[in-house]
Amino acid sequence: MKVLKQTLTLFALLGVFSTAAFAQTENANVDVTATVQAALTLTPTAVQLGTIEPAASVLDANGNDTATETNVGTGAAAGALQIQGTTGIDIDITYTGATLANGNGTTVAFTPSVYLGTNAVASGTAVTLAGGDITLDIGGSLAAPTESGSYSTANAGGTPIQFDVTYN
């Protein structure tokens, strides 16, 4: 009987201490959400200066460009960059100048003039994607070429205007 009493006492003590020996576990769920922007789509249209004299050339981006057009040839047309993305979101726009080459190693610099409607857009500017679709008008100035030939950013030694567009 004494052994039975000791065994029962031991089990009773183990029962009291066993709840303290086991750690309590709590669980919680943390929700995760994301708003995914529409992919940015860029559609370029080339700037065309036409056949020009061997002098500097200026082509207006659009009717709001304050530059005076000079030395542009037949068929001259401003370029464009259509940007599509999420409506109402701000985007940052940066761009470089271009280098036109004649394929013989002669190059000439082109400095773009970029407009969004009535507003000039400097490189590094933030604009809003109104309607999810905007079009930048692109004109600019070409330095005076030093020799005749067919100049293009596509020729060896040429570099196009590079636009980088990112969500702000």
pLDDT digits (tens, 9 = 90+) for 49-87: 999 999 999 999 999 999 999 999 999 999 999 999 999
Q: What is the pLDDT of residue 134?
A: 97
* 107: β partners: 101
pLDDT digits (tens, 9 = 90+) for 108-158: 999 999 999 999 999 999 999 999 999 999 999 999 999 999 999 999 999
Q: What is the pLDDT of residue 144?
A: 97
Q: How confident is the model at residue 7 (pLDDT cuts 50, 70, 90)?
A: low
Q: Where are the domains of the chain?
A: 44-167
CB 116 within 8 A of CB 138: no
Q: How confident is the model at residue 5 (pLDDT cuts 50, 70, 90)?
A: low
Average pLDDT on 6-16 reads 51
pTM over 0.85? The answer is no
14 pLDDT more than 60? no
Q: Which helix (H) or strand (E) holds 13?
A: helix 2-21
CA proximity to 100, closest of 38, 48, 42, 26: 48
Cα torsion 69, 134, 122, 43: sign: negative
Q: How confident is the model at residue 22 (pLDDT cuts 50, 70, 90)?
A: confident
Token digits of residue 129: 């994607």
